[in-house]
Amino acid sequence: MAPKPTDSQTLGGGGGSPHTEVEDEYEKLVIKMNPPRVTVDNTSDMAATLVKVDSVNKFGSLLEVVQVLTDLKLTIRRAYISSDGEWFMDVFHVVDREGNKIYDGEVIDRIEESLGAKSFSLRSATRSVSIQATAEYTCIELLGQDRPGLLSEIFAVLVNLECNVVGAEVWTHSLRMASVIYLTDESTGTPIEDPDRLNTMKRLLRFVLKGSGDKRSTARTAISEEVTHIERRLHQLMCADRDCALGGSKCSDEEEAEQSETNKTVVTVESCVEKGYTVVNVRCNDRPKLLFDAVCTLTDMEYVVFHGTVIAEGPEAYQEFYIRHLDESPIISEAEGRRLVHSLEAAIERRNTEGIRLELCCEDRFGLLSDVTRIFRENGLSVTHAEVSTRGAQAVNVFYVMDATGGPVESQTIEAVRNKIGEKILHVRDDLKSKSPTKDSGSSSFGNMIRSRSEKFLYNLGLIRSCS
């Protein structure tokens, strides 16, 4: 493995103390003695495939399972979670991207392999697991104040330093930008190892990020073979940047009520003293990866989900989690409850992409991203979200763009951009969804409705005495 720069940071939370290594070995032994059981059932539900996972419980197990299903492009319509004691039992009702049951034998095999005994025995509780193949590259993390043209300037710096971008993801939220970018040397295709070159890269990128006067901007690099799942890392970066506490002036009661009527994400945190839990309810528009975002946030805030129910079979999604701290104590202070509410709201809203979706699929070449984002900037487009990947010799990139002022993009602007980049390789899909008001009887009735279903499930398992 290539040597690391002296000031680089390992992204995956890798190494650890001898005590941690002993704990890891103990966990591996326990899992080996009690291997997880994974069942893929296509007969119990007429509309979805059931994925049942029974295993020894450890902190982060739920996130690992949800992450695997999400990375396999599966949609979770329902989920029932129970992990009291030293064992967890999870049931997920999943469909593919077209809404169909999973009959593809290859996908079923990947589910069983990714969640089975061999896979779990190799995992460390201190690391997040990604099903994507690991490769050698240099990873950079960027965090700063968002502004029009920022992504173009970043890619221009990397081109000038002869760095080839092999993958990236960019998120913006509350006027902040976070990105994780994977690089190789343009001439050799290997990680960038020269400390002087890495230091130059960080210095120039920090200069670009601080161009808007932002003192909190950062640029970090690391050479790693195993890194934190990219989307989990973006959540961590933006949460550490406290984007949940940013985003403008405080709303009045009337403005807040109006936002709630126009499909505002609703998160409530309530005490369940008689059972020793804190109950978290989430209601929002359903979308892909919603459960991953919620569970990722709870896990990184070091909450344990003991029981949960997820229903996402219509335009809205409902989630309820019975949680405690790692020491099994519930949330007591109102301040902590508010912090959890704001963190979950931010985690859900970060991925609510706005703008027009542009899909770029063409033969990959050095400098492609720099050229494309420069054309965006020259035509007054601002990138709010980006996903960059390379599949063999093909570049498969997705950009969400808005007007530089944050408004909708005019059709003639999009056509001008397509003419410059290529109409056959840049495709347009308007991802703006109509946001009609959703009628509901308030967060209290929502909590009662979802809790009745959840408690009935827990009662049937014999985990509570009454579901009334």
The model's pLDDT over 174-204, given as tens digits with 9 standing for 90+, comes to 989 999 999 999 999 989 888 899 999 999 9
The Cα–Cα gap between 339 and 352 comes to 20
Q: What is the mean pLDDT of residues 427-450?
A: 50
- Give CA–CA dist 306/361, Å, rounded: 43
Taking residues 12-32, report their average pLDDT: 51
What is the helix (H) or strand (E) element at residue 121, kind and residue range? helix 117-121
29-41: pLDDT as tens digits: 555 556 678 999 9
pTM, 2 dp: 0.79
DSSP letter string, 14-38: ----HHHHHHHHHHHHHHHHS--EE
Looking at this protein, which amino acid is placed at residue 291?
A: L
Model confidence pLDDT, tens digit, residues 223-253: 544 457 899 999 999 998 887 765 443 344 4
Please, what sign has the CA dihedral across residues 271, 349, 233, 120?
A: positive
| Domains of the chain and CATH, by start | 18-121 (3.30.70.260), 137-224+228-245+353-430 (3.30.70.260), 263-352+438-460 (3.30.70.260)
Alpha carbons 414 and 59: distance in angstroms, whole number: 47
- DSSP strand E in 27-161: where? 37-41, 49-56, 75-82, 87-95, 137-145
Q: What is the pLDDT of residue 274?
A: 85
**Of 4-8, 134-138, 312-316, minimum mean pLDDT range:** 4-8
Cβ of 456: how many Cβ atoms within 10 Å? 14
Contacting residues for 183 by C-beta, under 8 A, at least 6 apart: 137, 138, 139, 140, 158, 163, 164, 165, 166, 191, 192
Q: How many CB atoms lie within 10 A of CB 243?
A: 26
